[in-house]
Amino acid sequence: MDASQCGSSPCCTNDKKEDHGLKAVQSASLFFHLPDSSQVVDATKTPEGPHQRGPVELENGIIYTGQWLGAHRHGEGTLLRPDGGRYEGQFVDDRACGRGRFVHANGDVYEGQWLDDKAHGSGKFLHSDGSSYIGDWVEDMKSGQGLETWADGSTFKGEYRDGKKHGYGLFTSSDNSSYSGQFFNDSMHGEGTYTFSDGRVYVGSWQDSQMTGQGTMKWPDGRWYEGDYLGDRKSGEGKFCWPDGPTLSQ
């Protein structure tokens, strides 16, 4: 193949920056924590054993209705905050512990397991905009296996650590593009396969959500490129191959 043929081929022209569609919006801090204060404003004598009371006013205008063990919230109960936030579920020694449901003042809802006033174990978080996360939690953070769905239909299923996509996962965008591979701190990082909405498929190395390192790009018409990438662009050594046989090395 001569230089004029190479120059007219789309795969030999300068690459444009790719938009991989990975959701960059980070989840806001969930602020699951219930009030640390457990002081009862009403200082009347409290029975020692298990009993039902309520409503009982706590400090800062918080209202609790439910079971007690001595002077502590213990068992099933409901806690209503002045801002409209509401927790219904189990308590142990004044803290949310066990199964429970917390409705934020803005309409966001978490339902699942709790430990020491924090989402911990398995649970689901439903945002008021329609996005959601269902999976594992560790101390108010997404950690472990989970499924996240955004309002536009994009999804991620895989591993999380400290609230971020980390490990192996599958991200599918609303435009039908997808990435299957390794993640690091919410970025595509390591080895992975990206299928573009136009039918192209890239298999290879990633760094900070960009094609960087060794990789192979295949086009729907049978063309393919194998070689080096840097920042989503072909860079360094590589070779092109066309369906009819010609191969060009660079």
Domains identified in the chain and CATH numbers: 51-129 (2.20.110.10), 152-245 (2.20.110.10)
Mean pLDDT of 140-151: 97
Q: How far apart are CA 144 and CA 6, in angstroms?
A: 48
pTM for the full predicted model = 0.81
Question: Is residue 137 scored above 70 in pLDDT?
Answer: yes
- The pLDDT of residue 191 is 98
Per residue in 70-93, pLDDT (tens digit) is 989 999 999 999 999 999 999 999
Q: How far apart are CA 69 and CA 25, in angstroms?
A: 43
Question: Is residue 41 scored above 50 in pLDDT?
Answer: no
Reported as a pLDDT band with limits 50, 70 and 90, residue 48 is low
